[in-house]
Amino acid sequence: MSLKKFLRGQGYDLIDGPVRNHKPLQLWVKKLFDEIELYYANIDHAFISSVALNEITNDALSVNSSKKDDYSFNIGITLLEDILKSLGLAGFELSAKIKSGKKVTISYDNSLTKEYPVGELENYLSNADFRHHNPALLKNANRNNILIISGVVFAKNLVVEIETNFELTTELVAGWNKISEGKIDFAINNSSKLKMVTSGTGYFPIAVKANRIEFDKGTFRKLMLVTDNRNFF
């Protein structure tokens, strides 16, 4: 099953950018034609409300390595190196060692999903005021530039299969395992297929559910899910 399609069906977008610091209740700003960027680390830094927000764990949304996406070789290697860099695992020079191949398959394992119910968020914002006098925040709110992360899927393991068009050697794989110092486990699935599994102990974000905060002349109106083909994150 396609990981991207599965997540999109649950209202989530796979993170495919270099930034990987996403957390629930962050506010991001997306102006017309501009790159999206972190605006406030938590909604409470921008708003104050009498409504309490309660984080839940969505046990129904689970990601494992059976949900995966296939990429053409060069696209996949480029994307993989960006992901490794975002996880602090750069420096393995995969593109220098594996110069050609057929495809790259990327998936994740051991997931955890944290969410805030949209109804609670709308109730919070309906009863909210700005924490401080803030003309810039009001302008962005009235222009519907602000997104709130209402959910994040975290994973412990990145799982990758690289199908090369040459025969892999045990010496090459042993060298990578030595360089990785236990952070990545490299193995040969067959003579031309390399499997990589990161073995970090912490969770990292892999997908987000984002809602646009819609205001009208300073009054909150609604939240609008923005999961679509625009790839905000």
- Three-class DSSP labels, the chain: CEHHHHHHHCCCEECCCCCCCCCCCCEEECCCCCCCEEEECCHHHCEEECCCCCCEECCCCCCCCCCEEEEEHHHHHHHHHHHHHHCCCCCCCHHHHCCCEEEEEEEEEEEEEEECCHHHHHHHHHCEEECCCCHHHHHHHHCCCEEEEEEEEEEEEEEEEEEECCCCCHHHHHHHHHHHCCCEEEEEEECCEEEEEECCCCCEEEEEEEEEEEEECCEEEEEEECCCCCCCC
Per-residue pLDDT of 64-97, as tens digits, reads 999 999 999 999 999 998 898 888 887 667 777 7
Identify the band that residue 233 occupies on the pLDDT scale cut at 50, 70 and 90. Answer: low
Question: What per-residue confidence (pLDDT) applies to 227?
Answer: 73
**What are the pLDDT digits (tens) for 107-150?**
999 999 999 999 999 999 999 999 999 999 999 999 999 999 99
- Name which of 8-22, 89-103, 175-189 the model is least confident about: 89-103
pLDDT, one tens digit per residue, over 12-21 is: 999 977 788 9
Q: Is it the case that residue 229 has pLDDT exceeding 70? A: no
pLDDT at 16: 79
